[in-house]
Amino acid sequence: CFGNLCTDKVDPQGDWRGSWRALENIYERGLVRSIGVCNFSPEELRELLAFARIGPHIVQSWMDPLQQARELRTICIGAGVVFQAYSSLGTQHRTPVNPVLRHPVVMRLAAET
């Protein structure tokens, strides 16, 4: 049993469409209050919005001052979907020094407080 999934394998390349239908079904049955996705590209989100019977209530994605996810946020605004950022202080950057926390503007603003 793989955690609470009760399976020995997980397909990392699986198709999200079947998973989305399952989310729609549990939403329709009143088992959850909202449904959403994480780490979808703008293209994938457009495809989901066209495919879904029930659109996502929330989209979670990496966003920080250097990675602003503008296209994804624009799609969310147009579709009435909440956008939730993660790694807002640059923890997704794979560099020895965090470029967000060392950015001159961020450092200047931090010094002013």
Q: Report if residue 97 sits inside a domain.
A: no
The mean per-residue pLDDT over the stretch 91-95 comes to 83
Q: Report if residue 105 sits inside a domain.
A: no
DSSP letter (8 states) at residue 72: H
Q: Report if residue 111 sits inside a domain.
A: no
- pLDDT tens digits along 50-74: 999 999 999 999 999 989 999 999 9
Q: Report if residue 48 sits inside a domain.
A: yes
Question: How crowded is the C-beta side of 1, counted as CA atoms within 13 Å?
Answer: 4
Residues 70, 45: Cα–Cα separation, whole Å: 13
Residues 91, 42: Cα–Cα separation, whole Å: 22
Q: Report if residue 8 sits inside a domain.
A: yes
Q: What is the number of structural domains in the chain?
A: 1
Q: Report if residue 100 sits inside a domain.
A: no
- pLDDT tens digits along 1-49: 456 656 666 666 678 999 999 999 999 999 999 999 999 999 999 999 9
Task: Look up the pTM and report it.
Answer: 0.80
Assess contact for 94 and 70: CB atoms under 8 A: no
